[in-house]
Chains A and B, each alone.
Chain A
Amino acid sequence: MENKYVEMDLNEEINSDKTENRFLEFWKLFRRKKPALYSLYFILLLLVLVVAGQYITPFDHSEPNYSNILSSPSWPHVFGTDEYGRDVLSRVIAGTKIALTVSISAVLIGAIAGTILGLVSGFFGKWIDKAIMRFCDILFAFPDLILAIGIVAILGPGLQNVIIAIAFFSVPSFARIVRSSTLEVKELLFVESAKSMGASKRRIVFKHIFPETIPVIIVYFTMNVGTAILSAASLSFLGLGAELSSPDWGAMLSMGRDYIGTSFHIVFFPGLMIFLTVLAFNILGDGLRDVLDPKTRD
């Protein structure tokens, strides 16, 4: 009995060493990708803004100041003020929280559902595989944003429904990518040996195959967050997402476009923030792909 415990402890230690080594190896390679590294720093900075943004914004993002409307960028309003005299910088910072929460939660839901479907489809094959892949084909037949607009048209506008819509159209691409990775891993020797040792199907799928698909999922997840930010901002811009009075980047552009002739800064800064954030996720995704999934490079 005692021996068994010792053995388990040893196994865990070996496993944790393996994970640590893999991470160090990854970090050594990733560190050399300068653009991706700086993008990661930028995203970490954005995450700090998400958590601590409300404590460091110079002004209250929703507080109107009618004596100071549409003023150009100058001290203390570095990004200027909007049509209600609200500080644009504070609103852009507050918008970080909305953009990242909406996009990351939408892609996370899509990734979880897609990964499960992809694993099941790739591992079991046969009619289950066919059924899941046909379901994906149907979703692929609709252009992404049109599908999202359709879903929001049914459910009604609002950020929660935007999350559902984006999650929905993220599912098939995750399913496909995890399926193809599962098909590759399934044929590897260690899966075969797990099978021959009588491991249950669930154990093989989740303990042996799933961990091997994680790198691909991470790469794809990062790239999809960028797309999700763009889609969510587009939906808010069209009046189908966030409330127009909220500090959502897309909604700020939608409200500000009436003033572009005179006060271009109202639309310039939120748009620039969308661009930089999406750019950072895309460059990070490219860097991660080069390191984690080198065969798809070039």
Chain B
Amino acid sequence: MLQFTIKRLLSLLPLLLVVSFVVFMFIHFIPGDPARLMAGQDASLEEIEDARNALGLNDPILVQYTTYLSSLLQLELGESYRSGIPVIDLISDRIGPSLILTFLSILWALVIGILIGIISAVFRDKLPDRLGMLTAVSGISLPNFWLGLVCIQIFSVQLGWLPTGGVNDGLKSYILPSFALGAGIMAMIARFTRSSLVQTLKQDYIRTGRSKGLSSQSIIYGHALKNSLIPVITVAGLQFGFLLGGSVVVETVFSFPGLGQLLIDSISYRDYPVVQALILFFSVQFILVNLFVDILYSLFNPKIRYD
């Protein structure tokens, strides 16, 4: 197990390097001169030259990248063009609410998604299955920002039960955003749980169980479910990227003080160091979640470890 984890961690290094290189190049892809951007609109030629030296733009690309990488490792992500505050401080101020939001969204999505998937598979091609899968395909098709606005209209404006945005009301502030954010991923988990369970129920050992006279319940809950939930973890991991992208939109709907809103604010102010750091942050988070999922998967499915 430890060997597998180490192997998997090491295989991640090249990917992390390439991703960090792509994000590093980000600032070079932007049309216009980064030094002029940093120095500001009405900077003199001298100030622009100073900015160019400060950014190390006169060095060869590889040297610049090595410098970037070594500062990354020391968690130095530069300073915001807009406020001059270190980017790492901006991120650490807002990371808490964002992580709680993502965690709550994936939590309810997993619980309800798996439940709907099981019901659909057990009652395959009957009414509960049809309803479950209709819910799922609707969930995948719902624009999360619209769902968020509809929820605000019903639960905040008309019923007055929940706040319209922000995080000042404790856990209550998280209910609507995490509902809007988790709906899509819940739907995908439901669909996948259903198909995975249906596949498992076709296996030989299930037939053996049936011929031994086991009850349907003990077959489904005692044997099939455990095995069919393993691939669901992988799907949940892959869909995590969908959740991260969605969080940017949902945070905007609910004026939520998280990283997603910081990203959108920074783009509109052309605050590129913050944009660059956040894109890297989201991607690394996505890669790490999938690493975690892989390790979890190998824990449940020893076959993987020996491949």
Contact = CB atoms under 8 A, between A and B. Distances in A.
B143 A230 contact: yes
Interface string B246-268: 10110011000000000110011
B15 A137 contact: yes
Contacts, number: 131
A237 B245 CA distance: 13
A138 to B, nearest CB: 5
A239 B264 contact: yes
Q: Which size class do B's interface residues fall under? A: 35 or more
A34 to B, nearest CB: 12
Interface stretch (B45-53, B65-73, B218-226, B278-286): B278-286
A261 B246 CA distance: 24
A214 interface: no
Nearest to A238: B264
B283 A146 contact: yes
A156 B31 CA distance: 9
Contacts of A153: 30, 267, 272, 275
Interface in A176-235: 226, 230, 233-234
B299 interface: no
A230 to B, nearest CB: 6
A275 B145 CA distance: 11
Interface string B190-234: 000001001100000000000000000000000000000000000
A28 B272 CA distance: 55
Interface string B130-156: 000000011011111110011011000
Interface in A229-280: 230, 233-234, 237-240, 250, 253, 257, 260-261, 264, 267-268, 271-272, 274-275, 278-279
B149 A257 contact: yes
Nearest to A233: B143
A230 B242 CA distance: 12
A117 to B, nearest CB: 18
Contacts of A137: 15
A138 B14 CA distance: 10
Interface string A129-167: 000000001100111111011101111100000000000
Contact of B244 (A146, A156, A268): A146
Q: Which size class do A's interface residues fall under? A: 35 or more
B157 interface: yes
A240 B244 contact: no
27 contacts: A138-B18, A142-B22, A144-B242, A145-B246, A145-B249, A146-B279, A149-B263, A149-B267, A149-B279, A153-B275, A156-B31, A226-B140, A234-B143, A237-B145, A239-B268, A253-B145, A253-B149, A257-B149, A260-B152, A260-B153, A275-B138, A275-B141, A275-B143, A275-B146, A278-B141, A282-B141, A298-B198
Interface of B: 15, 18-19, 22, 26, 29-31, 137-138, 140-146, 149-150, 152-153, 157, 195, 198-199, 240-242, 244-246, 248-249, 252-253, 263-264, 267-268, 272, 275, 279, 282-283, 286-287
